[in-house]
Amino acid sequence: MIQIIPAIDIIDGKCVRLTQGDYNQKKEYHSNPVEVAKMFEDAGIERLHLVDLDGAKQKKIVNYKVLENISGATKLSIDFGGGLQSDEDLQIAFNSGAKQITAGSIAVKDPNKVQHWLMQFGKEKIILGADTKAGMIAVHGWQETSDLSIQQLMNQFIPYGISYSICTDVAKDGLLQGPSFDLYKKLGDEFSQINWIASGGVAEFADIEKLNDMGIYGVIVGKAFYEGKITLQQLAQFNA
């Protein structure tokens, strides 16, 4: 059964969503992320994807207090990402209650560091953020595109035991036009040892059902929920 992972994206301590990673296309949904997290937990959801968008821009952890507050108020298993660049950032994230962290830009800029994290913290703690723009990896809140393909990125970490990867097709993100099913099928076939988490484009409950039928490990649900396209009750079906 696919893992349902709602997303809370944070700017200035508030719950927001961007479109295609564009900070100029920001919409605020809730001023209190803890209340949103409690709502997910009350519906029987067990996981949360928490993104520090301020951190992604500043290239260091910023909104760790929000992480601390959510982990203190709920039993949600939280993966935390956005701007994590240093050992100190990781320690702050784990000390603030993150069960896992997502290594995105740093995996491109300094793969040795993320390889070290995999050995230091273990493969259960580290998720590789593999966000693609036209097949190439996007970094720093998707403001830049690297010269690495997703396959090249994965191959840098497979020998170190990477087991989890969140893959976002930036072209799909926030548009409510459906996920990149072909991309996830291809990645699932090429890297069957990875627990793939689909992100971006989920528009309706049928999208989640299709990803589940494909055998995808997890799906991140953001805008579709906040815009009322998918209900909490529907999401909770997968956690029943």
Q: What is the pLDDT of residues 215-230, one digit of tens each?
A: 999 999 998 999 999 9
**Is 9 considered catalytic here?**
yes
pLDDT at 196 over 70: yes
Catalytic residue among 54, 79, 89, 131: 131
Using pLDDT thresholds of 50, 70 and 90, give the confidence band for residue 195. Answer: very high
Please tell us whether the domain made up of 3-239 is placed in CATH 3.20.20.70.
yes
**Is 52 considered catalytic here?**
no
Catalytic residue among 9, 52, 54, 207: 9
* This prediction's pTM: 0.94
The secondary structure of 104-150 as a DSSP string is -HHHHH-HHHHHHHHHHH-TTTEEEEEEEETTEEEETTTTEEEEEEH
pLDDT at 128 over 90: yes
Q: How many helices (H) and strands (E) does the chain have?
A: 11, 12
- For the chain, the domains span 3-239
**What tens digit of pLDDT does each residue of 25-36 get?**
889 999 999 999
Q: Distance between CA 171 and CA 240 in Å, rounded? A: 32
pLDDT greater at residue 23 or residue 235: 235
pLDDT at 141 over 70: no
Quick one: how far is CA 20 from the chain centroid? 14
- Amino acid identity at 55: G
pLDDT at residue number 18: 81
